């Protein structure tokens, strides 16, 4: 069943597009809607205020946040670690993908689709 699910993830309509001008809570809500997983933004080692936009987060962290960067897409077939790296590379922000309740970190070596199905 796992192989079939992984194949289905490649064709699944669920995908997530990041628009840098949105508030962090909106980006997180869109991610949860697409994959039923939590997306947590960090300001250094602390969880960032969800009311901030990426531009506002840039003023609160030593890391340069690219709030004017182009958006990018994340699909269910991507590995969790690769998706987290995309946020860092494209936007300069640190994120962690957690389970739907936001309590457990999802392993980096599984796909987002597997994580959404709880296959870890």
The string of pLDDT tens digits covering residues 81-120 is 999 999 988 888 899 999 999 999 999 999 999 999 999 8
What is the structure's pLDDT at 68?
60
56/78 Cα distance (integer angstroms): 28
Whether the CB-CB separation of 28 and 50 falls below 8 Å is answered with yes
Q: State the alpha helices, DSSP H only, in the chain.
A: 2-11, 24-35, 54-58, 80-91, 112-116
Average pLDDT, the chain: 83
Share of the chain above pLDDT 70, in %: 76
Q: What is the pLDDT of residues 28-68, one digit of tens each?
A: 999 999 999 999 999 888 899 999 887 787 776 656 666 66
């Amino acid at each position: 069943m796992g192989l079939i699910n992984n194949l289905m993830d490649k064709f699944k309509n669920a995908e997530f597009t990041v628009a840098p001008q949105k508030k962090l809570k909106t980006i997180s809500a869109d991610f949860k809607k697409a994959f039923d997983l939590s997306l947590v933004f960090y300001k250094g080692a602390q969880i960032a205020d969800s009311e901030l936009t990426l531009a506002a987060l840039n003023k609160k962290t030593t890391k340069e946040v690219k709030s004017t960067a182009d958006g990018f897409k994340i699909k269910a077939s991507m590995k969790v670690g690769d998706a987290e790296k995309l946020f860092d590379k494209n936007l300069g922000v640190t994120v962690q993908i957690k389970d739907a309740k936001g309590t457990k970190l999802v392993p980096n070596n599984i796909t987002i689709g597997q994580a959404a199905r709880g296959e870890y």
